[in-house]
Amino acid sequence: MSELVAVEREGRVAVLTLDRPPVNAMNGDLLRELVAALRAAAEDGDVGAIVLRGAGERAFSAGADIGGFGAIPDDDPDTPRGIQPVADLIESLPKPVVCALHGHSLGGGLELALACDVRVAAPDAKLGLPEVKLALLPGGGGTQRLPRVVGPARAALMIMSGEPISGEQAYEWRLVERVARYEELRDTAVAIAQTFAERSPHALAKIKELLRETRDAPNYAREFEAFLECLGSEDGAEGMAAFFEKREPHWSGR
């Protein structure tokens, strides 16, 4: 177990917990450990989905520890220089990532969450991009991913005001897909991830790839191509066989 990112297993779900008190602010060390944990989970054949959460009751993450990035040596290729490379990694993983948000989920913390496939929030969580209050702007994908999720006007309101919204309002704005009390937040996120983990790894990877490739413009030809790839896969054959034989499928991931 690492010092800044705790790794646990719940069945076929890897639960990664940011653990840098008091508010899980992200510096180079934490992000380096998070990247390593994400890659290990992606490469583990026994892991079908990932949950990302924060330790303690105060925050998922209050954002980036800006001063921490300035101390990264130029010859350190393993430490991300900011949030964007980590968000890109989360988005590109072949396995689904579910994010559990509570307390302060701000700045780079929200930007990491935006890169996840599904977000669950406590009703009183505070989600926001406060960078403008420092005469800055989000630099970890916030200006790009947030408008795709909540629409350009609501994204402009959040980014230009710097004011957070609650988990309840985030649900109304479709920024999060589920709301759960803090006491139930981890279990809710894990339950969603476990449902994903029961599905074909091959199909999930194709779905994530297709959603990523076509998020800015529809491509029905690419969708049909991906459908044929799944239909002709080992998992596709197994899924059809299991359906007709009325049994649970056994996925190979191919």
- Over its length of 254 residues, how does the chain's per-residue pLDDT go in tens digits? 458 999 999 999 999 999 999 999 999 999 999 999 999 999 999 999 999 999 999 999 999 987 655 555 555 666 777 899 999 999 999 999 999 999 999 999 999 999 999 999 999 999 999 999 999 999 999 999 999 999 999 999 999 999 999 999 999 999 999 999 999 999 999 999 999 999 999 999 999 999 999 998 999 999 999 999 999 999 999 999 999 999 999 999 99
Q: How many helices (H) and strands (E) does the chain have?
A: 11, 10
Is 159 in the same domain as 237?
A: no
**For residue 118, what are the domain limits?**
5-197
Answering whether pTM is above 0.95, one says no
Neighbouring-strand partners of residue 54:
18
Please indicate, yes or no, whether residues 178 and 82 belong to a single structural domain of this protein: yes
By DSSP bridging, strand 13-18 and strand 59-61 are: unpaired
Q: Do 165 and 209 fall into the same domain?
A: no
Q: Are residues 125 and 215 in the same domain?
A: no
Domain-located, residue 221 = yes
Upper half-sphere CA count for residue 133 (Cβ side, 13 Å)? 10
Neighbours of 163 (CB within 10 A): 13
In this structure, are 102 and 211 located in the same domain? no
Q: Are residues 126 and 59 in the same domain?
A: yes
Q: How far apart are CA 38 and CA 150, in angstroms?
A: 26
For 151-174, the three-class secondary structure string (H helix, E strand, C coil) is: CHHHHHHHHHHCCCEEHHHHHHCC
153/139 Cα distance (integer angstroms): 19
Cα 88 to Cα 91, 93, 124, 225: the distances in Å are 5, 9, 28, 24
Cis peptide bond prior to 22, omega within 30° of 0: yes
DSSP 3-state of 116? coil
Number of folded domains in the chain? Answer: 2
How many residues does the structure list for the chain? 254
Tell me which residues are annotated as active site: 111, 131
